[in-house]
């Protein structure tokens, strides 16, 4: 058997992202925050990396796992639900894993939920025996049913899954849920979550053995820095030495602060990187505990 295309040696890294849809713009914004600059082709399907040897393919979200499996791209930003469905398909077919989740990216959050008609008195998964479940994620649903020991029919639908019970195509559905408004509009209610999903960076199971490895490592370092600073602020303040322990207890989401002694005074200057919201309430609590000259500064980037 010939080796997969993923074994090809390349000196540039290729990332697939969603061309349009809810993950497209946030993916581009994340890569831009990592310092990547691109020149877009006329057909708007390929972007050549100008700042680093990292290129983009602009494709359908559902195509990204297959492109990873075929070695057409090296990394992809995709919904966890899409990646998990492909992995479940390969396991069901007895095929080895070719892609895995490298990083959760913190945007595009949703759930893969079982939803039943509002009139149902939901008592648990045992009610699903013999029922028809409409879904666009048949491999995940079948795997979950097998884990529960339940025999039910999975009805594959590629769109408008939520109307299947009203059309008599299924008894219930399994679909992605964000706000739940679409379910409510179709007289459905969520009863069981099969998967918590968000955008993830997906890549091969094995590390790259060529120049792509160094660019992948660089990209991960920058992504980690960007993600770590999301909603983070640098807090600057002064305090008496004896007040510092109580102040640090009020900053459980902060990294260990940098402490500097002020000349000629029994006062210290502190700076702490906080990874949670620095609200007015928190500032008041710090002030009451002895902090003075409080200042909150946005952080643009950091590198470990």
pLDDT tens digit at each of 304 positions of the chain:
334 444 456 789 999 999 988 899 999 999 999 999 999 888 888 999 999 999 999 999 899 999 999 999 999 999 999 999 999 999 999 999 899 999 999 999 999 999 999 999 999 999 999 999 999 999 999 999 999 999 999 999 988 899 999 999 999 999 999 888 999 999 999 999 999 999 999 999 988 988 999 999 999 999 998 888 877 889 999 999 899 999 999 999 888 899 988 876 788 999 999 887 788 998 999 999 999 999 998 887 776 6
- Residue from 64, 85, 65 nearest 174 by CA: 85
| C-alpha–C-alpha distance, residues 216 and 222, integer Å | 10
Considering just the CA atoms, what is the radius of gyration of the chain in Å?
25
The domain defined by 110-196 carries CATH number 3.30.413.10: no
Segments making up each domain of the chain, as ranges: 5-107+199-228, 110-196, 233-298
Q: Does domain 5-107+199-228 have CATH number 3.40.190.10?
A: yes
Report d(CA 214, CA 121) in Å as an integer. 55
d(CA 9, CA 26) in angstroms, rounded, equals: 30
Q: Do 5-107+199-228 and 233-298 share a fold? A: no
- The enclosing H or E element of 107 equals none
How would CATH label the architecture of 233-298? 2-Layer Sandwich (3.30)
Residue 26, Cβ neighbours under 10 Å: how many? Answer: 17
H or E stretch covering 239: strand 233-240
DSSP letter, residue 254: B
What is the C-alpha to C-alpha distance for residues 84 and 300, in angstroms, rounded to an integer?
Answer: 33
């Amino acid at each position: 058997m010939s080796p997969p295309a993923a074994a090809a040696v390349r000196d540039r890294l290729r990332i697939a992202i969603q061309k349009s849809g809810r993950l497209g713009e946030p993916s581009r914004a994340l890569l831009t925050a990592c310092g990547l600059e691109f020149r877009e082709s006329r057909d708007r399907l390929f972007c050549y990396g100008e700042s680093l040897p990292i290129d983009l393919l602009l494709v359908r979200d559902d195509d990204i796992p297959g492109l990873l499996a075929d070695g057409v791209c090296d990394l992809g930003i995709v919904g966890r639900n899409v990646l998990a469905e492909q992995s479940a398909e390969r396991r069901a077919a007895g095929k080895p894993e070719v892609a895995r989740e490298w990083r959760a990216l913190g945007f595009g959050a949703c759930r893969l939920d079982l939803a039943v008609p509002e009139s149902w008195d939901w008592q648990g998964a045992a009610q699903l025996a013999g029922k028809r479940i409409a879904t666009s994620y048949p491999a995940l649903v079948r795997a979950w049913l097998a884990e529960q020991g339940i025999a039910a029919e999975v009805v594959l639908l590629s769109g408008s899954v939520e109307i299947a019970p009203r059309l008599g195509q299924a008894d219930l559905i399994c679909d992605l849920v964000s706000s739940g408004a679409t379910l409510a509009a179709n007289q459905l209610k969520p009863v069981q979550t099969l998967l918590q999903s968000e955008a993830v960076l997906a890549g091969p199971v094995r590390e790259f053995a060529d120049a792509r490895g160094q660019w992948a490592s660089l990209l991960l370092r920058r992504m980690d820095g960007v993600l770590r600073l999301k909603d983070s602020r640098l807090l600057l303040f002064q305090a008496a030495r004896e007040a510092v322990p109580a102040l640090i207890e009020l900053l459980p989401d902060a990294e260990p602060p940098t402490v500097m002694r002020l000349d000629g005074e029994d006062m210290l200057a502190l700076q702490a990187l906080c990874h949670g919201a620095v609200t007015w309430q928190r500032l008041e609590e710090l002030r009451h505990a002895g902090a003075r000259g409080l200042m909150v500064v946005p952080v643009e980037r950091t590198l470990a």
